[in-house]
Structure 1
Amino acid sequence: MIKVENLHKSFGSEDILKGLNVVFEKGKTNLIIGQSGSGKSVFLKCLLGLFKAEEGYIYYEDKAIQNMDEDQQRDLREEIGMLFQGGALFDSMTVEENVMFPLRMFTKQRKKEMQARVDEVLSRVQLEGAHKKYPSEISGGMQKRVSIARAIVNKPKYLFCDEPNSGLDPKTATVIDNLIQEITHENNITTIVVTHDMNSVMEIGENIVFLKQGKLVWQGDSTEIFKTDNEDVTDFVYSSDLFKKIREVQNKEG
């Protein structure tokens, strides 16, 4: 679990986050959504400790990152897996070497142990035969699965995903969404996904946090989001590309 209390973040005279109070639940896919400029990316960087908030606290379980010393912060980083928007794979490394990289960085495991764990996670994301391939030799969807394997290779307690479906076709995006959710449930991870994709909201939105201008204006799940009378939320949902296409089909059929 990650708990946020009264979080404020500013840049100069501009207030970006304005007193956020949120609980991200363990074993669930927690989504952060909102229009561009709502504060999603700044919030994510605060959660990761990349930005220091002026006020408020972020608790990982019962420990506030603001009160951690360097050793404790380093220990926390080892418990975090990160899935970047662009995948962020090393082009000069094979799939196997990319996935093994965090093990080399953060553990003292023997090569045999690291190899066994790499084999395990690549099998989990259905890439058993891709060990020796380079990122340029596989599809975008496969690259994203490699990134997921790398993000979970250290058995993280917390998994952060920044626009995981960026650049993917709808079918592949659904595969990635479902994989993230399955891994979250299997390992009881606290997973936080920053997205603007309504397909993701519908597929895996177990705990959805909606931000507007740095404030939390709604929280619920994928069924409740379509029942709410919150105008900010309904404007966001029904102005998405997904619902525009649905309306176009309905109009043609009508």
Structure 2
Amino acid sequence: MSEPIIYLNNASVYQKNHPVLNNVNLSLARGNFYYLIGKTGSGKSSLLKVLYGDIPLKEGEGKVADVFLTSLKESQIPSLRRKLGIVFQDFQLLTDRSVEKNLIFVLKATGWKDKEEMHSRIDEVLESVGMLSKKNKKPYELSGGEQQRIAIARALLNHPELILADEPTGNLDPETSRDIMLLLKSIVEKTRCTILMATHDYSMIKNFPAKTIKCEDGKIFHGNSEELFTK
């Protein structure tokens, strides 16, 4: 049996020296889709930030994609993030350059050097999200759903073992949100990477049930989406 992609043991999550989650025990298997739910301020985003190295893990043990969080030095954060893909609610695309140049920027920042390999990988990920024809467009020329597809393509560039998605459908209409969910689910099936998706969209979870982690009252609970919504 393979090592879990995310492992936390008696971990505490802090936001500006204020504990938001205590005694977190979490073990997520590889190749699965998980939801992360909870009210605003319950610690969802802080937990994700710990997982991608934006907030240090001060207490307990933690490991993400075989990288130890407890002893993580600032110089090691780039190597952790090369194993991850991160998708944000507000897309975080650079508006002054084309889609292709957005993706080139990420590849260069993560150590890619060969131009031919970079262009080949960009075409690959854009095709996988149905956006190859948009590579010369600038983000502001695209719809919200198209921008989020580009953001997902960006997250896929380095063949991630894990994608952390923070409210990826939060700014999208219901039909576009459904399309993004179908895309994320298909990525898990095709690539066997793990996706952990924070969301408030309960109708989405009802339509696409999956294993779920809930942040509430400084603790986390595990179960399926139906159980945790009735808690």
Task: Indicate whether the TM-score tops 0.5.
Answer: yes
Instruction: Give, in whole Å, the separation in 2 of the partners of 1:67 and 1:53.
Output: 8
Paired-residue identity, %: 33
**Deviation per CA, 1:69-115, whole angstroms, max 9, x where unpaired?**
55544322211111111000000110111122221111333111111
- Cα separation, partners in 2 of 1:113 and 1:23, compared to 1, 3 Å: same
Q: What is the number of equivalent residue pairs in this alignment?
A: 227
> Is the 2:9–2:60 Cα contact (8 Å) retained in structure 1?
yes
- Cα separation, partners in 2 of 1:200 and 1:111, compared to 1, 3 Å: same
Q: Hey, what does 1:55 align to over in structure 2? A: 59
> Is the 1:30–1:206 Cα contact (8 Å) retained in structure 2?
yes
Provide structure 2 residue ranges, at least 5 long, that are not aligned to the other structure.
none
**Deviation per CA, 1:48-88, whole angstroms, max 9, x where unpaired?**
12112331121125542212455544322211111111000
RMSD after superposition: 1.9
Instruction: Give, in whole Å, the separation in 1 of the partners of 2:219 and 2:52.
Output: 19
* Secondary structure, counterpart of 2:103 in structure 1: helix
- Cα separation, partners in 2 of 1:62 and 1:102, compared to 1, 3 Å: closer
* Secondary structure, counterpart of 1:91 in structure 2: coil
The residue correspondences of 1:196-235 to structure 2 (distance < 5 A) are 196-216=200-220, 218-222=221-225, 225=226, 228=227, 233-234=229-230
Instruction: Give, in whole Å, the separation in 2 of the partners of 1:85 and 1:203.
Output: 20
- Structure 1 residue 22: deviation in Å? 1.2
Structure whose residues are more often helix by fraction: 1
Instruction: Give, in whole Å, the separation in 1 of the partners of 2:144 and 2:162.
Output: 24
Instruction: Give, in whole Å, the separation in 1 of the partners of 2:172 and 2:16.
Output: 36
- 2:13 is the counterpart of 1:9: yes
Instruction: Give, in whole Å, the separation in 2 of the partners of 1:176 and 1:137.
Output: 19
TM-score (norm 1): 0.82
Q: 1:97 aligns with which of 96, 101, 113?
A: 101
Q: Which moved more, 1:173-182 or 1:103-112?
A: 103-112
Instruction: Give, in whole Å, the separation in 1 of the partners of 2:117 and 2:216.
Output: 46
* Secondary structure, counterpart of 1:185 in structure 2: helix
Provide structure 1 residue ranges, at least 5 long, that are not aligned to the other structure.
236-254
Q: Hey, what does 2:83 align to over in structure 1? A: 79
- 2:166 is the counterpart of 1:170: no
Q: Hey, what does 1:181 align to over in structure 2? A: 185
Q: 1:112 aligns with which of 116, 138, 141?
A: 116
- 2:139 is the counterpart of 1:135: yes
- Cα separation, partners in 2 of 1:93 and 1:62, compared to 1, 3 Å: closer
- Structure of larger gyration radius: 1
> Is the 2:78–2:110 Cα contact (8 Å) retained in structure 1?
no
- Cα separation, partners in 2 of 1:11 and 1:183, compared to 1, 3 Å: closer
